[in-house]
Structure 1
Amino acid sequence: MEPIQAIRESRALIIMRGEFGDRLEDIARILVEEGFLAIEVAMNSPRALEQIARLALAFKDRAAIGAGTVLLVEEAQRALEAGACFLVSPHTDEALLAFGRKVGIPVIPGAFTPSEIWRAHQNGAAMVKIFPAMPSGPEYLRNLRGPFSDVPFLPTGGITVENAAAFLRAGAIAVGIGSALVNSQAIASEGLVRFREACRRFSRALREL
């Protein structure tokens, strides 16, 4: 599945950071069934490349699987070899963006200031991750929309089930959400049924705009 289309349709990019063990595919399956078609595995997770490879194999025809917290081109190369089809970074790095253009893979860099946002956009960012989204909040994003009306924004960092819709109303194309939804410790203690309920509530909140 084309990654940017998957993020736009889902209105969210799901970030999986941590160790999920044998439940990795089950968690991803619930996410996909509840309408989340773009999943990012953070590269600073234990066995991140193995997790990417497992998800890319299991969901190659159903979801876009990418790598997040990519800091270096070398990490990006390893992530693509594992099966990632898009890259997300917490910063704007021209080398990473050039690598993405070279290999034909979407790169979503992190940016915060107007200068960073413009530099990312000018260097071919598929979307710009406004990071961190909090504590500045939706109002900061709304103000950015004025001068950057054509830049697709993906606020990430501090996004929760409760505040996600406010960022969409402020002009975000989608939101990036991690531990507020996919928390390995919470899933281990509460189980997959509760996790599915949380995913369903989040999906409903994003679509009731």
Structure 2
Amino acid sequence: MTEAGEQPGAPAPLPRELELVRALVVLPDRGVDKLMPVIEVLVQEKLDVVAVELGDEDLSALFPLYAFRACLGVAGITGAGDARRAVELGAAFALCPDPDDETLDVLRAGGIPVICEALTPGEVRAAWRRGVAAVEVRPADVMGDRYPKALPPMVPGVRLIASAQDVPTGRTWLNQGAVAIDVTDPVLSRVFVSGDHASLRKRAADAVRQVSRRH
């Protein structure tokens, strides 16, 4: 029987930038004109590991623009067609909630590290065995305050990313060995409704300060 730390083949590793920043932000499909000011603020505040949800918008101009300033990935991949778009865009990583085998094969062939979602220990182990770069625990706060400490020993060797509703909760996961946290909700808030980029800047800077603390 395959153990949690064993994977089929060698998946593309997580981007080094994600391991250094220890946080990522997922942007919704809102069109390039609305995305660019938000990405610019995040990059300036050093919260520069960002995934953009695939949708109907053409993102081909966005990725080359930030190729040397940000670690830009894609989110919301639901099938092999989306995976091929990710490869064509040159995505640094891909967030796939529950990819099928064909989708994983396309992303692996394109050298794109895959992050998929799970919650319970059994789900996390099953996801890891599929040869992904990391497993995002989502929603990370639904299992209670003890889960950040309880889960890692039950899934030894698994690289975990935690999605939490607030940064302090996310820091608990980091302190228990998570590779990174998803700070989308506390950082973005309602910026695409309010257009308040000054407040976004403050939240991003605060998130970076909290995440950079080791204890």
Instruction: Please give the range of the TM-score, normalised by the shorter of the 2 chains.
Output: 0.7 to 0.9
Instruction: Summarize the Cα distance change of 1:190–1:26 in structure 2 as closer, same or farther, 3 Å threshold.
Output: closer
Q: CA deviation at 1:20?
A: 5.7
Aligned to 1:186: 191
Q: Is the 8 A contact 2:73 2:93 kept in 1?
A: yes
* 1:69 and 2:76 correspond: yes
Using the aligned pairs only, state the percent identity.
25
Aligned residue pairs, count:
202
Aligned to 2:179: 173
Unaligned 5+ segments in structure 1 are none
Question: Aligned match of 2:200 in 195, 201, 209?
Answer: 195
Q: Is the 8 A contact 1:92 1:111 kept in 2?
A: no
Letter in 2 for 1:129: E
Q: Which has the higher helix share?
A: 1
Aligned to 1:81: 88
Matches within 5 A, 1:14-33: 14-19=25-30, 22-33=33-44
Offset from partner CA, 1:117-176 (integer Å, 9 cap, x none): 2232222211111122131145223212113232110112x4323422122123211011
Instruction: Summarize the Cα distance change of 1:161–1:144 in structure 2 as closer, same or farther, 3 Å threshold.
Output: closer
RMSD: 2.3
Q: CA deviation at 1:187?
A: 5.1
Q: CA deviation at 1:89?
A: 1.2
My pick for the range that moved more, 160-169 or 67-76, is 160-169
Which TM-score applies when normalising by structure 2?
Answer: 0.82
Offset from partner CA, 1:37-77 (integer Å, 9 cap, x none): 3111123x562xx2x43431221012221111211111111
Distance in 2 between residues matched to 1:150 and 1:56, nearest whole Å: 32
Which TM-score applies when normalising by structure 1?
Answer: 0.84
Q: Which is bigger in relative contact order (C-alpha 8 A, separation at least 6)?
A: 2
Matches within 5 A, 1:52-131: 52-91=59-98, 93-131=100-138
Letter in 2 for 1:89: C
Distance in 1 between residues matched to 2:133 and 2:70, nearest whole Å: 18
